[in-house]
Structure 1
Amino acid sequence: MKLVERDTELSVLEGMLDACAAGRGGAALVSGAVGGGKTALLRAFRERAAPAGAVWLQATATAADKDVPLRVVGQLLRTAGSPGADGEPAVWPLTSPVAGGVPVRGADGAVPAEVVADVFPRLCGILFARARKRPVVVCVDDVHLADAYSVECLLHVVRRLDVSRILVVLGESSGSEWDDSRTRRELLRRPVCRFLHVGALPRDGIAAMLADGRKGRRSAPPVSEFHRLSGGSPLLMRALLDDYADADRAGGAELVPGEAYERAVALCLNRSDRLTRSTAWVLAVLGPRGERAEPAELLGVPRAAGERSLRALHDMGLLAAGRFRHEAGRTAVLRRVEPPRSPRLEARVARVLYEYGASSTVLARHLVAAENVDAPWVLPALLEAAEAALARNEVGRALDCLRVARDSCADERQVLRVRIALVRAGWRVDPSAAVRYLPALTDAALAGRLTPRDMKALIGHLLWFGRADEALEVLRVVEGLGEREGLEEKEELGEVAEGAVAPGRWGVGGAGERQVVESARLWFAYGYPGVAARCGAAVAPGPYGGVGAGGRIAGLVAECGTQQRALALMASVLDQGAAGDAVVRAERILQETRPEDRTPAAGLAALVALIVADGLPEASRWCDILLAEARERRAPMWQSLFATAKAYTEIRLGELAAAEESAHTALTVVPPEGWGAAVAAPVAALLYAKAAMGRLDEAAAHLRIPVPDAAFRTPGGLLYLWARGHYHFAAGRPYAALEDFHRCGDLMARWRLDLSALVPWRSDAAQVYVSLGDDRRARSLLEEELTRPGPRPPWTRGVALRVLAALAERADRPRLLAEALDILQRSGHRLELAYAMAELSYSYWDRNEDGRARVAARKAQQLMRECGIKAPVLKASPVGAASACPPERPERPGAGRSATGLSGAELRVAALAARGYTNRQIAGALFITISTVEQHLTRAYRKLGVQRRTDLATRLNLDAEEGTGAAGCGDGLSRDCLRAG
């Protein structure tokens, strides 16, 4: 783009060059604002000077070179050509004054005499020697940034220009500290020096630039608009033309400063001095409030310096009447210019912003970076900003605000408020960081120095870390405060209506305070049911709608928030089992709540209701939604909680690989030490999934994750015992498995939380008794499970029927299994469906229906593969001999349970042993443990009256020498499969 409106300045410079060629040297100081076009003017003058045959020596000073002695002079000499050529005195490289031990500046700030006496004359010598042949132009741009040695050297040359052919042209940016320097004043006093000011472009200049830049376009906004936004700055004008070109290509017709304009603003400021940048930053931060502010006072500089920096910003075209010409300019300063690192300045800005009524979020940005501000408004502003940051999912910013607030506290009550806020915010990222605050907060709560809402938050954190007894004491304090405050208010207001409750001194009276208390009670009733049982009817769970916790919450549902409604629904499901409309109600709660209003407690309570009520597809879908929201909020603890819920949903659906991944995610995003007593839940999910897939070594490794004793006072502890029981059973330790399952039953009975939908411990224990041959105990548990009163999910009946089929007569097994299959298929429990299908294949095999056995075996194998089980593998919940394929058919039809008195499981193991298979091969083929094989063989020896393996074939009417293979089901069990097992 061509140079416009600079003809006068060019003519002056050309005249000085002509005088120089005639032997009258001179100097010119070209001054202009940053981005005002002085560099372009110097470049145009160089092009005009080239035909005159002048030697052009060029240098450009930078802020980085300001403290490097003679850096600018060195640049000039490099452009002068080879030193010593044509008989000229050698002056380059110059001796470094620092290397020679010469001080950088003298005591009075002047250049040391050693440099003046040695270096300066040598430079003058080479310049004057060059000037004897041709005119020499010494051009230094941005001279205000040059090092002091070079500036003094240039001034030394200017003093000797009267009779010479040397022209010194210096370019400076106006509005810097250089304006008041001694060197500049002396330079301007020299008779040979001319001062040229490159001002802002007038309207005609803007019109010329617009006409040149508009070529190829049909129209453009008025010249006045470009002139107003650019302030006459050529640099900003070019940026506006670029932005308009982009808008024109996009179909827009308006002039809107964009990316190019912002880059140009940032370039102007980055080329300015520190004070000018700081002034621009202060004005950008204050915004419209800055009109009445005094930047010099804020920056702590003399008024003259502040006025100079303001003038520089006006000359650049950024400001008009003390304000940014366009919001894009202010945005560019805030986004692209590094703020001054001055805690004192931040504190001053914060005070001014507070006086002008800025929001707490704006104030906090400066208070966090400021030195300590001793003012009563600081703490409330920081606390409010922290809450706002949490609402925007900016946990890091919230913690920064709270840490500064902690240092601003004036009394103990304020310290407690900040600590509660730190615990609440830090829990999202690292719950373990909250532990150190709990003792002091608990003492304060017991002394009545916390509000009921803060106490409720404290109760949740105490329960999280297993401190249930301390949490109970805090809850009693909350209840006592509520009752006392209610009575006091009644007496003061003269209320006569029985049961009316007036607002308390905390400002949380009435329904709001009751919600706080009831919500805390529910955490006890269903989070620590053992502790709740000790607390009496006030906290212990009861029938929903009755006198228990669920009943009390039900009366408040209409006036409650999402969390209370979700907790009420969870209480209903856990009190009544599978309530008919629980799935619909849970989805309604989640659907009617905006994402920003959802809390982890509400989401988890709704998910628990969905899982217990067997709404697995809905639970899976909402787990994905809540997980995505937690990731978006950058809340690791929320992600881990919802990942754990997803893992249990996937376990119920038979998606073992996915469940393993979800549980692993939960324990990776938040390490086990951050889980407190709740760690039992994700560890249990991971343990069960790996045991069910037969990866027992990996499962055993998870048993080494510390689970605190307090976890076994929570439902998470039940899940851990359940998962560990299945691991023990799969690993061949049936009695250890029975101990875990029966401990589940004892705890659930003691807690009045005996829900098969939560942990089907009776069916699990019955499976173990079946494997041990204790049919009586197995049958007793299963009959109790099937005849228990109250609603429950159908899948629990399906599992019980599957196990019961192993104890039934041969003729009844297909009927029981068919019913179990129908229930499990409709409920979507694919893993249990696979086990039942495997049992059905054996049932057909026992009835000599080999074709149907093969079909069932293939279906069982397919289901197991879909669940993530790769045969041969040990089952997590073996029932009898639940291989995906029955063994080889005995040759004589007389063999069977009726002839030998063996159970189906014992008969299958004995038949394979009679054909010569080892215990390990039998275990691998039948999906059971080696220990279970040994137990079945022991009972078979006793019933058949034999002592050796070789006698089994005779007693079972088998020909032990035949059928060394195994072809019972075609694609199922083969010799290679047995050998691999």
Structure 2
Amino acid sequence: MLDQEHADWGTTCTDRVSSWATLTERESELTRLEYLFCGDDTHEGRIGIIEGPSGSGKSELAATITRQAFVHGFRVLRAAGTRRERTFPFGILSQLVPADEEAPYTQLNEAISTAVLLGMSGDGGDQNIRWDLLHAWCSLIVELSRSTPIFIVVDDAHHADTHSLAILVHLLKRSRTTRVSVLLALTSGAVPADPLSLSELRRHRNCRVIRLALLSEPGVAQVLAERLDAQTATLLAADYHAATGGNPLLVNALIDDRLTAVPDPKSTLRLVIGDAFQHAVLSTVERIDGVMPSLVKAVGVLGDSATPRLLAALLGLDQAHVTKLMHMLCASGILCAEGRFRHPGTREVVIANPSQIENETLSYRAAQLRYTDNAPAGIVARHTELPLSDAEWRVAVLAAQGHTNRQISSDLFITVSTVEQHLTQIYRKLHVVGRKELPLVLRSTVGQGA
């Protein structure tokens, strides 16, 4: 426990630590969340929920509030959800047991370990053990709160397991007579592991939901001025904002790369993309959804043709789900509203990143889709590795569709002689003896990897 004398909930909050100043454009959010550890001494449970796009600074805001809760005498219990452990029974709860080596805590940890080993699920397993854990943990927290207010913070709460959230809901139902505050941080639009429990927490009468937006261009300028200098901020704020959409994680990563790679940051007026930005892009993408690495790679392969319909067909996903993920990528500053990457460097990062599906496979599938979709031949050509120029591809596709040389000439506004010259090159490069073989060759080529 904390050794200092603990302040109660009636403490006023006129003082703030200097670290709050580093959270750009978050002043109103900080003020709204003060009530978690300040205000009247009602001893009622309180909830704060921070939600926003991936990379928007939810964890940083939660950490700042948590530090202030500690300063105000709260005992802090921390946990974080992960995609891999969202179905892990009591995964969050096991992180929220105090680390003290006293009998009540060790016994509770042993009980949680036993329940996990039994492989309990949300609608099965030994319900007696589940009830015993609920009662034991809630009783422990209530007892601790009699002498010390408790502050529970869960990062990436959309990954929190069903068992843990259900017990947290039960605690807050009992907390009208206990000094317990709960702060959750979660990604907007992400599918929670337990939507019902999260919904119940949102409906709690003492719940405040804080929705974070990305930084404005003046906000990006403020970050640049604080970490670099005012002149650079004035000159580059628009470029940094355009490349990141104001995503704080991406903005700061670009600054890190600039400070690392440029001896004199004032000597260049271009964006510097290095390891920090690469890691930030991949982190932003991967924290949204498990299929996101493959989706952004597909966006990179399709380029301007990356519509939700084609992306869904390319990856074998539901189109509505793809549309939702595209919106989340836009909200996170990875894509612009038109569905294109905000910066070429972002596309290079996701294309180079290994994922469940390789670039070559995606390229062949994209070519097949565009070919069957009657796309212009030049677009199809960009997704294949056949040694044909765009002009030759246009001629080859029309010839494969049964057009005569004169029709091809008319359609492409070139002479019949030019059509014949292109066909000669096409036959040679594709090792065919005539136009009758073209449909089979083209279909088999774009069909590889599908």
TM-score, length-scaled by structure 2: 0.72
Any gaps of 5 or more consecutive residues in structure 2? 1-18, 390-426, 435-450
Q: Is the 8 A contact 1:353 1:363 kept in 2?
A: no
- Structure 2 vs 1, CA of residues 291 and 173 (structure 1 numbering), >3 Å: closer, same or farther? same
Residue number in structure 1 paired with 2:85: 65
In structure 2, what residue type is equivalent to 1:82?
E
Alignment of 1:163-562 (within 5 A): 163-178=177-192, 181-215=195-229, 221-245=235-259, 246-247=261-262, 249=264, 251-291=267-307, 293-321=309-337, 322-340=339-357, 348-354=365-371, 355=373, 356=375, 357=377, 358=379, 360=381, 362-363=383-384, 384=386, 506=433
Residue number in structure 2 paired with 1:118: 132
Q: Is the 8 A contact 1:105 1:112 kept in 2?
A: no
In structure 2, what residue type is equivalent to 1:138?
I
Deviations 1:923-977 (A, max 9, x none): xxxxxxxxxxxxxxxxxxxxxxxxxxxxxxxxxxxxxxxxxxxxxxxxxxxxxxx
In structure 1, what residue type is equivalent to 2:176?
D
- Structure 2 counterpart SS, 1:241: helix
Q: Is the 8 A contact 1:130 1:136 kept in 2?
A: yes
- Structure 2 vs 1, CA of residues 327 and 343 (structure 1 numbering), >3 Å: closer, same or farther? closer
- Structure 1 counterpart SS, 2:384: helix
Residue number in structure 2 paired with 1:143: 157
Distance in 2 (alpha carbons) for counterparts of 1:21 and 1:336 = 52
What displacement does 1:260 show? Answer: 3.1
Alignment of 1:919-938 (within 5 A): none
What displacement does 1:248 show? Answer: 6.4
In structure 1, what residue type is equivalent to 2:177?
V
Deviations 1:547-589 (A, max 9, x none): xxxxxxxxxxxxxxxxxxxxxxxxxxxxxxxxxxxxxxxxxxx
What displacement does 1:180 show? Answer: 8.5
Question: Is 1:29 matched with 2:49?
Answer: yes
What displacement does 1:32 show? Answer: 1.4
- Structure 2 counterpart SS, 1:159: helix
In structure 2, what residue type is equivalent to 1:176?
A
Q: Which piece of structure 1 moves more, 296-305 or 226-235? A: 296-305
In structure 1, what residue type is equivalent to 2:96?
L
Deviations 1:124-149 (A, max 9, x none): 01110111001100101011122332
In structure 1, what residue type is equivalent to 2:327?
R
Residue number in structure 2 paired with 1:49: 69
What displacement does 1:291 show? Answer: 4.7
- Structure 2 vs 1, CA of residues 21 and 276 (structure 1 numbering), >3 Å: closer, same or farther? farther
Q: Is the 8 A contact 1:319 1:325 kept in 2?
A: yes
Q: Is the 8 A contact 1:20 1:167 kept in 2?
A: no
Distance in 1 (alpha carbons) for counterparts of 2:73 and 2:348 = 48
Question: Is 1:91 matched with 2:108?
Answer: yes
Distance in 1 (alpha carbons) for counterparts of 2:198 and 2:37 = 22
Distance in 1 (alpha carbons) for counterparts of 2:147 and 2:61 = 27
Deviations 1:867-899 (A, max 9, x none): xxxxxxxxxxxxxxxxxxxxxxxxxxxxxxxxx
What displacement does 1:120 show? Answer: 1.0
What displacement does 1:115 show? Answer: 4.2
Q: Is the 8 A contact 1:97 1:103 kept in 2?
A: no
Alignment of 1:891-970 (within 5 A): none
What displacement does 1:332 show? Answer: 0.8
Q: Over the residues paired in the alignment, what is the CA RMSD in angstroms?
A: 3.5
Q: Is the 8 A contact 1:244 1:254 kept in 2?
A: no
What displacement does 1:40 show? Answer: 0.4
Q: Is the 8 A contact 1:176 1:308 kept in 2?
A: no
Distance in 2 (alpha carbons) for counterparts of 1:211 and 1:42 = 24
Distance in 2 (alpha carbons) for counterparts of 1:336 and 1:46 = 35
Distance in 2 (alpha carbons) for counterparts of 1:69 and 1:235 = 31
In structure 2, what residue type is equivalent to 1:146?
A
What displacement does 1:189 show? Answer: 2.2
Distance in 1 (alpha carbons) for counterparts of 2:118 and 2:72 = 43
Any gaps of 5 or more consecutive residues in structure 1? 365-383, 389-451, 458-504, 508-981
In structure 1, what residue type is equivalent to 2:101?
S
What displacement does 1:346 show? Answer: 7.5
- Structure 1 counterpart SS, 2:47: strand
Q: Is the 8 A contact 2:138 2:171 kept in 1?
A: yes
- Structure 2 vs 1, CA of residues 328 and 353 (structure 1 numbering), >3 Å: closer, same or farther? farther
Question: Is 1:82 matched with 2:97?
Answer: no
Q: Is the 8 A contact 2:77 2:96 kept in 1?
A: yes
In structure 2, what residue type is equivalent to 1:198?
L
Q: Is the 8 A contact 1:66 1:147 kept in 2?
A: yes
Deviations 1:614-637 (A, max 9, x none): xxxxxxxxxxxxxxxxxxxxxxxx
Deviations 1:622-675 (A, max 9, x none): xxxxxxxxxxxxxxxxxxxxxxxxxxxxxxxxxxxxxxxxxxxxxxxxxxxxxx
Q: Is the 8 A contact 2:160 2:193 kept in 1?
A: no
In structure 1, what residue type is equivalent to 2:271?
L
Residue number in structure 1 paired with 2:418: none
- Structure 1 counterpart SS, 2:182: strand
Q: Is the 8 A contact 1:91 1:123 kept in 2?
A: yes
- Structure 2 vs 1, CA of residues 336 and 166 (structure 1 numbering), >3 Å: closer, same or farther? same
Residue number in structure 2 paired with 1:730: none
In structure 1, what residue type is equivalent to 2:240?
F
Question: Is 1:39 matched with 2:29?
Answer: no
Distance in 2 (alpha carbons) for counterparts of 1:311 and 1:93 = 43
- Structure 2 vs 1, CA of residues 33 and 99 (structure 1 numbering), >3 Å: closer, same or farther? closer
Distance in 1 (alpha carbons) for counterparts of 2:362 and 2:132 = 45
Q: Is the 8 A contact 2:81 2:92 kept in 1?
A: yes
- Structure 2 vs 1, CA of residues 124 and 342 (structure 1 numbering), >3 Å: closer, same or farther? farther
Deviations 1:432-461 (A, max 9, x none): xxxxxxxxxxxxxxxxxxxx999xx9xxxx
What displacement does 1:274 show? Answer: 1.3
Looking at CA atoms only, which structure, 1 or 2, has the larger radius of gyration?
Answer: 1
In structure 2, what residue type is equivalent to 1:309?
L
What displacement does 1:195 show? Answer: 1.2
- Structure 1 counterpart SS, 2:43: coil
Distance in 2 (alpha carbons) for counterparts of 1:342 and 1:222 = 33
Distance in 1 (alpha carbons) for counterparts of 2:54 and 2:186 = 9
Distance in 2 (alpha carbons) for counterparts of 1:20 and 1:306 = 46
What displacement does 1:216 show? Answer: 8.8
Deviations 1:483-531 (A, max 9, x none): xxxxxxxxxxxxxxxxxxxxxx958xxxxxxxxxxxxxxxxxxxxxxxx
What displacement does 1:313 show? Answer: 0.7
In structure 2, what residue type is equivalent to 1:249?
D
- Structure 2 vs 1, CA of residues 202 and 180 (structure 1 numbering), >3 Å: closer, same or farther? farther
Distance in 2 (alpha carbons) for counterparts of 1:344 and 1:312 = 25
